[in-house]
Structure 1
Amino acid sequence: MRVKTLTPLWTGGVNSKVDRIHETGLLGSLRWWYETLVRGLGGNVCNEEHKCDFDTQKYISSKANSEAERLKEAGLCDVCQVFGATGWKRRFRLSVVEDNIRDAKIQHPIKAYKKKYVSGGKEYVPTWYFSDPSKTNVSPVPPNTPKIGNFEILLQSLDYDFQIEIIKGLIQFIADWAGLGARNQMGFGIIEPIGERADASYLYEKLLTNVGNYHYAELPSLKNVFLVQIKVGNAEEVETFNIKCDLRRLFSDNKDVRHFVMGTAGEKKDSAKKIAAKIKISHPYNDNLMRIWGWIPEEADCYNKNWDREKIVSDIYKYLTTNYNLEVWREIDSKRDTVTPNITKPEKFLQSLLGL
C-alpha cells in the first residue's frame, strides 16, 4: 500500500527517536485498533496482566476442527493469533519503503492563543515544545522530528491460511477514522492511501469470526469509542492545542476526571502516575478538516454522581457542535451518531464504519 501523510507521522524507535518511519510504531497502532474492534464484538483479547503464551504441546494434541480453535486451546486470544505472542509469530510481515519522506516543519514552541490561565497566582499560556529540525547543534542527532511525505507499506502473509487483505482493510479503517503511529494527541498520524481504497470486507469477515460474549467495561472497545470530523475556520496547527486546552477546561472542577480523560505526564520521579490521553486531536488537513477521536469507558474509579461516561462524552459533543461545524460523529447506540443513530448491534456499526 502506498500512503501519504496528511499530518506529520511520529513513529519512535530506540529511545523514541524518529530518525525514520519505524515499523514497530505502525504495528503498535494496528494492534491497538485490532484489539479495540475485537473487544467491541465480544471477542477474546488478552491484557497486560494476563498475556498469551503459546503451548506447542496443546496445539499438537488439539482435536479441534478449525485452526482458530486449535490456537485458542493452545493459549492464544483472537488478537494474538494474528499479531503474535510468546512462542507464536505474527501472521504477516510489515516493512516500510520511504519513497519521499522528509522532516516535517512544525511550529515550536507552540502556544494556545487566547488561552490564559492562572496557577499559583500567576498567569500563564499553555505551551508545547518540539524539536527544531533547522538547528544543527542539537543533541542527539538527528533531531527528533516527525516525518511527512509518501511511503510504501509492504505487507506479506506468513501463513497460507491468512489473507493479507485483512491488514490492508485495517490500515484503511485507521486512514478513515483515526491516526497511525504515536502522539496522535499532538495532531500527528493522519494518513491517506494513494490509489484505490483497500477492500475492508476481508477485515469485516475475519472480525465476525471473533464475535463472542466477553465484556470490557474499562478498556478501549468499539462500544465506547467515538469518531469525529469537524470543519474549522483556523487551519493552523495551533487549533489542535486550542481545542486540547478547551477540552481540559470542561473538566476543570475535577482533577481526577481531567487527568483520566485528557492525560497527564505525572511527576518525573514517578512515571507510574503518567496517564495516556484518551482523546486524540489531529492537526487541520484537507480543506480545514480536523479529526477527533477517543474512548471513554463505562466504568472508572474517578466517576461519581457528577461525572460518568455519558456526561463526559455529552460535554465534548456540546463543545464541538457549539464552536465548530460538525461533519460527522460516529458512536454506537447513540443519538449523537450522524449516520446510524441509536444502532445497537456492534456488527452493524462496524459494517457502517467500514463502508460496507
Structure 2
Amino acid sequence: MASPIVAPPTLTLHFRTLTPLYTGGVGQWGDQLHPSGLLGSIRHFSCAVARALGDGTFEPACWGLSGDSDYMPQAKGVSLRWDPSGLKPVSLPEKLFIREGDHISKWFFNQAFAGHLTLHLTRMNLSDFHWRILRAAIAIQSRHAMFGAKDQFGLGALVLENPEALAPETFVESDIQGSALRGRWTELPLTRYAFTKVRVQGPLATWQERLEAGLRLRARMRQALRQPGDGLNSATLTDLRHRMLGKLNRWGSAVDISAAYAVSPAWEVRIAVALRPDDKRHRQVIMKRFTEALGCRVSDWIFGPGFGNKRHALINQLAGW
C-alpha cells in the first residue's frame, strides 16, 4: 500500500504596512504589487544572515541556482506565495523637494499599496538550520528593515502581526560555521549592517509629511559626509558619500530610511545601513558622522562591532529571539 502524501510544512505570516509598498511595473506605475520585488528583498536579507554565520551553502539551498560554469543548477528549497488581497492603493505625492545644504534634491513617487499582506512560506527541501536562518531573517527584516522597491527613501516598512508563527529558535555559538563571508558579487554579511530607529516630531497627518520626515534625515546623513575632517580629505569623503548614499549611474544607496510611521504616542523612522567600505577607519567615521547627524548615540545602533565574535548573539537580538 502506498504511503499517504504528506504536504510540506507551511508558515502563514500576516504583515501590516507601516509605510506603503511600492508597486513598480512598466513606467514605475502599476495597478498591482509585484511579488518579485518582495521575494528579492527577502533573498538579499536572508543571505546576509547566512553569511554572518559563515554559511556559504544557504543561498543555493534556499533560493536555487540556474547553474553556470562554476555551479551546478539547483532547485529552490522554499516556496513563497503572497496574498495581497488586504492591500488598497494609496496615492503618494508625485514629487518632493528636500533641501540638502545648498542643494535641493528631488524625489519622485506615485501609486503604492497599504494595508494587510499575507505570506505563505512553504518549506520544501531545506535543512533545519537553513530553515531557521530564513525565519530569523524575516523576523529581523520586519523589525528593523524594509521590503520591496523604493526602500531607500521611505517605502516598504512592515510589521509582522503574528511573530510567534516563526517559532523563535535562538542561535548558539556552535551555529557559527566560520568567518563571516562575502557573496558571489561581494554582497555583505549582516555583521556589516547597522540598524537604528529615530523618533521624529508629529503629528504627521499626510503621506507627504511622513515621507519628508524620513527624507530630511537622509539629507542630514548625506550632508554629514561633506565636510573634511576626521583625518579624511574632501576627495575621500566624496567617494564615501557616493558609495553610502548613492550616485546616479554608479552607486545605489546603501542607506534605507523609512517614512515616518506612528508608534504611540510618537512617530518613528527606521534606518538600515550597509557599511560598504572595507577600510575599518572609514566605517568608523561614517558611523560617527551618521550618529551626530541624527542626534542619537552610538549605543542607539545595533551593529556588528558591539558583538565581537558573538555573531549568533547579534542575530538573536535583531530577531527578538
TM-score range for the pair, normalised by the shorter chain length: 0.7 to 0.9
**Aligned match for 2:119, one of 138, 153, 156:** 153
Asked if structure 2 preserves the Cα contact closer than 8 Å seen for 1:178 and 1:190, the reply is yes
* Distance in 1 of aligned mates of 2:53 and 2:126: 26
Query: What's the offset of the Cα at 1:164?
Result: 6.0
Question: Which residues of 2 match residues 281-292 of structure 1 at below 5 A?
Answer: 281-287=257-263, 288-292=267-271
Query: Taking structure 2 as the reference length, what is the TM-score of the superposition?
Result: 0.77
Asked if structure 2 preserves the Cα contact closer than 8 Å seen for 1:98 and 1:151, the reply is yes
Q: Match of 2:39?
A: 27
Residue correspondences, number: 282
Q: Match of 2:7?
A: none
Aligned Cα RMSD in Å? 2.9
- Letter matched to residue 294 of structure 2: L
**Aligned match for 1:191, one of 158, 176, 183:** 158
- Letter matched to residue 153 of structure 2: M
User: Secondary structure of the equivalent of 1:7?
Assistant: coil
* Distance in 2 of aligned mates of 1:237 and 1:202: 35
* Distance in 2 of aligned mates of 1:116 and 1:227: 23
Structure 2: where are the runs of 5+ without partners? 1-12, 67-72, 205-209, 227-233
Query: What's the offset of the Cα at 1:222?
Result: 1.8
Question: Which residues of 2 match residues 84-95 of structure 1 at below 5 A?
Answer: 84-86=64-66, 87-95=73-81
Question: Which has a greater percent of helix?
Answer: 2
- Letter matched to residue 257 of structure 1: L
Query: Taking structure 1 as the reference length, what is the TM-score of the superposition?
Result: 0.70
Q: Match of 1:330?
A: 302
* Distance in 2 of aligned mates of 1:27 and 1:38: 16
* Distance in 2 of aligned mates of 1:116 and 1:166: 39
Asked if structure 1 preserves the Cα contact closer than 8 Å seen for 2:258 and 2:270, the reply is yes
Question: Which residues of 2 match residues 85-124 of structure 1 at below 5 A?
Answer: 85-86=65-66, 87-112=73-98, 115=99, 117-118=101-102
Question: Which has a greater percent of strand?
Answer: 2
Mapped pair 1:10 → 2:15: no
- Letter matched to residue 118 of structure 2: E
- Letter matched to residue 195 of structure 2: L
Asked if structure 2 preserves the Cα contact closer than 8 Å seen for 1:230 and 1:326, the reply is no
Choose 1 or 2 for highest CA Rg. 1
* Distance in 1 of aligned mates of 2:36 and 2:224: 35
Asked if structure 2 preserves the Cα contact closer than 8 Å seen for 1:166 and 1:202, the reply is no
Select between 99-108 and 277-286 the one with higher mean Cα deviation.
99-108
* Distance in 2 of aligned mates of 1:228 and 1:94: 28
* Distance in 2 of aligned mates of 1:171 and 1:111: 33
Q: Taking CA–CA contacts closer than 8 Å with sequence separation of 6 or more, which of the two structures ends up with the larger relative contact order?
A: 2
* Distance in 1 of aligned mates of 2:298 and 2:122: 38
**Aligned match for 1:345, one of 306, 310, 317:** 310
Query: What's the offset of the Cα at 1:204?
Result: 4.3
Tell me: CA distance 1:17–1:159, structure 2 relative to 1, closer, same or farther (3 Å): farther
Q: Match of 1:140?
A: none
Q: Match of 2:285?
A: 311
**Aligned match for 1:260, one of 228, 234, 243:** 243
Asked if structure 2 preserves the Cα contact closer than 8 Å seen for 1:40 and 1:221, the reply is yes
Structure 1: where are the runs of 5+ without partners? 45-76, 119-123, 132-144, 267-273, 335-341
Asked if structure 2 preserves the Cα contact closer than 8 Å seen for 1:179 and 1:189, the reply is yes
* Distance in 1 of aligned mates of 2:218 and 2:252: 14
The percentage of counterpart residues that share the same residue type is: 20
Query: What's the offset of the Cα at 1:230?
Result: 1.1
User: Secondary structure of the equivalent of 1:197?
Assistant: helix
Mapped pair 1:295 → 2:274: yes
